[in-house]
Structure formats: C-alpha cells, structure tokens
Amino acid sequence: MGERMKKRELFYAAVYIRLSREDGDKEESDSVGNQRKLLKEYVSKMEDVIVYDTYVDDGYTGTSFNRPSFKRMITDIEEGKVNCVVVKDLSRFGRDYIDTGRYLERVFPELGVRFISVSDGIDSIRQTYDMLLPIKNIFNEQYARDISKKIQATVKSKQKAGEFIGAFTSYGYKKSPTNKNKLVIDEYAAEVVRKVFQLYVGGMGKQSIAKFLNGEGILCPSEYKVVNGENYKNHNRLESTSYWTYSTINKMLKNEMYVGNMVQGKKHQRMRSRQRPVEREDWIIVRGTHEPIIDPETWAKAQRLMKERHRDIDLETNVNIFAGFVKCGDCCRAMMKNSWKHKDGGMACSFYCGTYKRQGKAYCTPHALPFYVLEDIVLNDLKAIIRNVEDLRRFVEDQSFSYSDTEKIAERESSRVKGELERVQKLKKSVYEDYKEGLISNEEFLAYREDYLKKEELYEKQVKALEEKRKDNAIHDVFETPWLKRLLELRNIEELDREIIVEMIDRILVYENRKIKIFYNFGNELGSHFSDIYCDERAV
C-alpha cells in the first residue's frame, strides 16, 4: 500500500456483505439491510474508521472468492483506496477456510489492511489473529452437519409414515387445526381443483383453462395463500405474475396429492447447497393418507389424456407446419422459425418477426413465440371449436328446415367454397414470394406448393358437387356441408399436422403484447371467423 495510506491514523473501510441462498441461511437471505445497518452502526462508533464504500455480493457462495464485489474490493485495496475490511462474521467473508486464512494471515497483513469481524470479536490491530479460529469453525460446521443429518432422518421417517412435512400445503388442502402433519380439504380451493380437472377431461387445454380461471377472477394458488395470511412466496414465478398460467395448471393436473396420496421427498437439499430434484422412483409416496379431491376415474383419464396429447417434435427434420401462415401482427411480415440446441442436446424452436430478424429492432420488435406454445394454442382452440360444433349439431337435429332454408344454406356454402378456392390460389402465390425472400427453404416451398395444389383440386370438386346438389330438391342435413362435416371428423384430434393447418387456418397474427389472433377458413357456420388468445407470459 502507498505511503499516503500508511501515514494516516484513519482507516478507510470496506463494509463487505455476502448473502447466499446456497448457504442455507434463510434468514440471512433477506437481511442485506440488517447487515448494512449493523456494520455501519458499529463503524460509526469507531473514531479511527471511516466507511469508504459498501460491497455486496448477493446470491454468491462463500466457498469461492470469485465474486464481483469481492474482487472490486480487492482492487480498491491494491490501489490504496481501502485499508480496512469490516464484515459481520467470518462466514460472510468466506467459507473456504484455507483461502480465508490466506487472506487474513498473509494478504491483508502484507498490504497493511485491518480486518474486523464484528460477531467473532476479531480486530487485527487490537489482538493477534487466532490461528485456532478456523479449526473451531470447522468443528462448529461438523456439529451443524451432524444435526442436519439427524433432522433429515427424522423428517424422512415422518414422511414414510404418511405425515405431512412442509411449510405450505398443495392448493386445495390445509393443515388440520388439531394436527399440523395431517391434511384436510380447503373446500373453496378444492372446488377450483375439481373444476380444473373437469375442464381438462372435457377437452379444454391447459392454456385455455388458465385463461378461463383468470376471466372468472379466481385467485391463483400463490395469491390465494397470501390472501389467507400465509407468508408464501413462489421463487419460480415472475414477480409480476399474479394469475393462473399454463405451468400452474400443468403441475396441478400431475399432482397425485389430489387422489389422497401423500407425495413428498421430490427435492433434496444438502447443507449449504441448493435444492435438487429427486428421481420419481425415489419419491416418498404413501397412499390413502387424506381425503381425496379428485376421484380415481377422473384422475386416470386426465393422466391418460396428458400422455396422448404429448408428443416429441424432431425439430431437426420436422417441416414447419405453420410456414406461410404466421405473420407479425404489427408489420404483417412473415414470422421466421429459429431453432437451436440446448446444453443438454435437446432442440428448441421459436418464431420471430421477419422484419426484426432481417432489419433489426429499429423497424420492428421480436414478437418471439415458441413453436410448442403456438402448436398447443392452435390445437386447444380448434378442439374448443369442434366441441361447439357438436353442441350445435345436437340442437339442429331437433329442428326442422324448410326447402328455402336448405337452399339458402347451400347457396351460402357454394359461395364460401369458391372464396376458399381463391384464397388457396393466393396462398400458393404467397408461399412463392416467401421462398424468393429467403423466409422458407426450397424443400419447404415444394412441400407447401404441393399442399396448395391438393387443396385447390379439393375445392374445385366441392364447388362442382355443391352446384349439382342445389339442383336436388331433397332436404339435406346441414351438417353434411364440407366444413362442419370435416370438423366433426376431427373430434378426436390430438395433434396437428401440415394438412390440418392448410385446411383449417387462414392466417395467424402474433402481437408483441402476447396476443395471438387466429383466422380460420370457416366462419359462416359458427358465427365467428377468428379467435383472440393471450399466451402465458412465462411460456413466451
């Protein structure tokens, strides 16, 4: 350190604060303000110490000194700006006792740095550093580890006995007022859980269920717990997310607690380490420990549906089934598909505005939309439309139509099919333009062109058939019209393919505010030509 700092009687202090959730310090994790207050009050009573700066490493482990604020502090020490370090206790400075000892016994003395640890009663200019202190701390740590192991063994024993061990219950349950290890039903929340399962087995998608619950003004689980006075905080959700999401519904549908089975031990945490997921075969599951909310039949059907609706997409070879249909809702440019590999070797794929990708943010914004999110939204929305058609068919079967009614329907259908024929011809031209601009590959262009040629031929046949049908005076079932008949044929649809997209979708607009507008090729039969949908914020 420079001569200027050595000759002064005053010490310029670095107040150092470290917090780490990996250390298992749950109370410490929320105590930046407390540490700052304690240290500054301590320093304010010292006539020979002035605070130069405060250095905070929030969320960094003490087993490594590779921390940004710590390195900045060392730089200030080496530049002669700081000649005193003040910490709450040694564990805040570091938990690696070899490197901690190196700093305290060699580095700081050589640089003329005074070290103060308030809780440990250490002040390097008032007494010699206790060489046995690290050893004492090691013994203290070993004692803490032994206690931790005993506590974990006790907890696991109770879990295997079917007792609930946890701070917060699954949504739909609450702790028994007479036994905190037993669960009882929270009737209000349980009714919401039943509704979720009812909607899902009835055909509604997870995203649509979340949208429905938000529309009904029903509090999401985390907000419900807060309203009920529980000190609950979900660290996995965004701070501004206070509503039902796809993820919430997905977890609820997989939660075996709802059939009366106690499921625990899904995560494991060693001392001073973060929680890590446990393989399912190692979970602790005890059956029949509490009253079920969902009956076995509904549960089994929901699990079967989730397996049927899931499919892995080979994004390396799978053709983009939405190519030519997905447009930016603001600039109307075609959305481009972007694929990449995860660190684990898996593939991911998202759509981005073509203008943004080619011209930059000065011309438009990303409008990013994951492939699987769009696929799930379109599939669920189409299934909802099909359910409406089935309901409408049951209504129509009870009605009688006059010849004039049937004639009007036939004329309208003929006009609509002719319009669709023109639309396909325009799409065939549009996909060629996308190919010219480099938005789709040559292979995709040829595949899509073939799709449109087939659709063009199909519509031409439909036009001819409808013209012949109009000459027939027999009353025809309204649900024999091509569109409604086709929708009813798709009642068991579980996945999308290119043919269905070409047949059913006119275009899809993606907006930056997470809004998606789907324009369908039908409208007259159902009284609506498009669907407005908002995506889950975290999913997009």
pLDDT: is 305 or 179 the higher one? Answer: 179
pLDDT of residue 195: 94
222 pLDDT more than 70: yes
Distance CA 140, CA 20 (A): 19
- Label residue 283 left, alpha or beta by phi (over 0 means left) and psi (-120 to 50 means alpha): beta
% of the chain residues with pLDDT over 70 = 71
Q: Residue written as tokens 């040829």?
A: 446
Q: How does residue 413 score in pLDDT terms, banded at 50, 70 and 90?
A: low
Q: Which of 135-144, 211-220, 283-292, 410-419 has the lowest mean pLDDT?
A: 135-144
Distance CA 71, CA 66 (A): 7
Please compute the mean of the pLDDT values over residues 185-202 and round it to a whole number. Answer: 92
Residue-wise pLDDT tens digits, 251-306: 999 999 999 999 998 887 665 555 678 888 889 999 999 999 999 999 998 998 88
Count the alpha carbons within 13 Å of 389 in the hemisphere toward its beta carbon.
26
Distance CA 158, CA 146 (A): 19
74 pLDDT more than 90: yes
Distance CA 22, CA 17 (A): 15
pLDDT: is 425 or 472 the higher one? Answer: 425
Distances (CA, A) of 152 to 145, 227, 269: 10, 31, 10
pLDDT of residue 418: 78
200 pLDDT more than 60: yes
Phi, psi for residue 285 in degrees, rounded to 5 = -120, 120
pLDDT of residue 475: 38
Distance CA 395, CA 117 (A): 80
Please compute the mean of the pLDDT values over residues 75-86 and round it to a whole number. Answer: 93
Distance CA 64, CA 528 (A): 61
Distance CA 251, CA 244 (A): 12
- Label residue 505 left, alpha or beta by phi (over 0 means left) and psi (-120 to 50 means alpha): beta
Pairing state of beta strands 262-264 and 284-286? antiparallel
β-sheet bridge partners, residue 53: 14
Q: How does residue 156 score in pLDDT terms, banded at 50, 70 and 90?
A: confident
Residue-wise pLDDT tens digits, 6-60: 445 689 999 999 886 544 444 444 477 788 888 988 998 898 999 999 999 887 8
pLDDT of residue 449: 78
pLDDT: is 334 or 259 the higher one? Answer: 259
Q: How does residue 342 score in pLDDT terms, banded at 50, 70 and 90?
A: low
Distance CA 324, CA 452 (A): 11
Residues 520/505, Cβ–Cβ less than 8 Å: yes
Please compute the mean of the pLDDT values over residues 492-511 and round it to a whole number. Answer: 83
Residues 366/330, Cβ–Cβ less than 8 Å: no
pLDDT of residue 78: 92
Please compute the mean of the pLDDT values over residues 86-102 and round it to a whole number. Answer: 81
pLDDT of residue 537: 44
What burial class does residue 520 get, using C-beta atoms within 10 Å of its C-beta: 0-12 exposed, 13-18 middle, 19+ buried? buried
pLDDT: is 96 or 65 the higher one? Answer: 65
For the record, the structure tokens of 120 come out as 């440990």
pLDDT of residue 380: 87
pLDDT of residue 403: 43
pLDDT of residue 409: 58
Please compute the mean of the pLDDT values over residues 477-503 and round it to a whole number. Answer: 72
538 pLDDT more than 70: no
Count the alpha carbons within 13 Å of 163 in the hemisphere toward its beta carbon.
10
Residues 80/5, Cβ–Cβ less than 8 Å: yes
Please compute the mean of the pLDDT values over residues 112-117 and round it to a whole number. Answer: 92
pLDDT: is 259 or 527 the higher one? Answer: 259
Residues in the chain: 540
Q: Which of 187-191, 224-228, 336-340, 443-447 has the lowest mean pLDDT?
A: 443-447
Distance CA 171, CA 234 (A): 13
315 pLDDT more than 80: no
Q: Which of 209-223, 372-386, 387-401, 468-482 has the lowest mean pLDDT?
A: 468-482
Distance CA 193, CA 191 (A): 5
* Best-predicted range by mean pLDDT (71-80, 446-455, 512-521): 71-80
pLDDT of residue 321: 80
pLDDT of residue 134: 59
pLDDT of residue 72: 94
Q: Which of 200-209, 260-269, 313-322, 380-389 has the lowest mean pLDDT?
A: 313-322
Distance CA 293, CA 195 (A): 11
pLDDT of residue 27: 46
Distance CA 118, CA 214 (A): 51
